[in-house]
Amino acid sequence: MDNLVILRNVGRRYPMDRSSVLALDDVSLAIRRGEFLAVAGPSGSGKSTLLNLIGCIDQPTSGSIHMEHREVTRLKPARLAEIRRRMIGFVFQTFNLIPVFTAFENVEYPLLLQRLPGGERRRRVWESLQSVGLQHRAHHRPDLLSGGERQRVAVARAVVHRPAMVLADEATANLDTRNATQLIDLMRRLNRELNVTFVFSTHDQRLLSGVDRVVHLCDGRLAGDSIEEGPDAAVSAPCA
């Protein structure tokens, strides 16, 4: 597998009053195309900051980020927005569904931004809803769906525009253990079927058993990588 994203010595500081907080410190990481990668660590370890940087939502204070062999570190906001629309799907902890839209309309929204013709949009939306087993709930608004169903709609929306990568930031945090495990299994299946790179963050060690690679963060620094350390690192907790 070739590298889809490369981070080199990446750091991120956030201003706070008269000082600053170092959220990510000298992180170097390569994410391979088609990987299913978990970013693990306790609250405050830098997981969300890392995913925001990979997803071109935020920019690093130091270091560089390359995506598809092109540096994206200092691109202007309009160009970063274009990369997000074209290459990246997002799944959030709080679902981020539009409450007045049906499941179908929520999944369709990224395709509207891409200005795809109506027939193509409808075909892709139905395919995406079928892939997560929710075609029978297509015309229900989010308030009529369970938490697990809402998160599956969010996954369908994340993959509908055929991105190179999906980022899921603590996507299981608002789900019970059963639904959280089912969501990881769903993302794993889509990773294999669509050859889409999945990167998800979690603080729950129980969700890491079926993951090929786990990157551990501790206090903003890379504390472990199962690719380098072997399979036992996938279930270890260096920051615990």
Q: What is the mean pLDDT of the chain?
A: 91
Question: How confident is the model at residue 234, as a pLDDT?
Answer: 45
Residue 127 has pLDDT above 70, yes or no: yes
Query: Does 108 map to a domain?
Result: yes
Question: How confident is the model at residue 227, as a pLDDT?
Answer: 65
Domain containing 217: what range?
A: 35-59+76-235
The answer to whether the beta carbons of residues 90 and 163 sit under 8 Å apart is: no
Which of 171, 194, 195 shows the shortest CA–CA distance to 184? 171
Query: Does 84 map to a domain?
Result: yes
pLDDT in tens, 174-221: 899 999 999 999 999 999 999 999 999 998 888 898 788 999 999 999
DSSP label at residue 170: S
Query: Does 116 map to a domain?
Result: yes
Query: Does 71 map to a domain?
Result: no
Residues ≥6 apart with Cβ < 8 Å to 213: 35, 36, 37, 38, 225, 226, 227, 234
User: Average pLDDT, stretch 126-142?
Assistant: 97
pTM as predicted: 0.91
Query: Does 4 map to a domain?
Result: no
Number of C-beta neighbours around residue 187 at 10 A: 23
User: Average pLDDT, stretch 120-144?
Assistant: 96
Query: Does 65 map to a domain?
Result: no
pLDDT in tens, 51-83: 999 999 999 999 999 999 899 998 999 999 999
The answer to whether the beta carbons of residues 184 and 209 sit under 8 Å apart is: no
Query: Does 188 map to a domain?
Result: yes
CATH code at position 115: 3.40.50.300
Query: Does 230 map to a domain?
Result: yes
More confident site: 51 or 224: 51
Total domain count, the chain: 1
Residue 228 has pLDDT above 80, yes or no: no
* Residue 199 token pair: 């990167």
Give the Å distances, CA to CA, from 23 to 20, 54, 57, 223: 9, 14, 15, 14
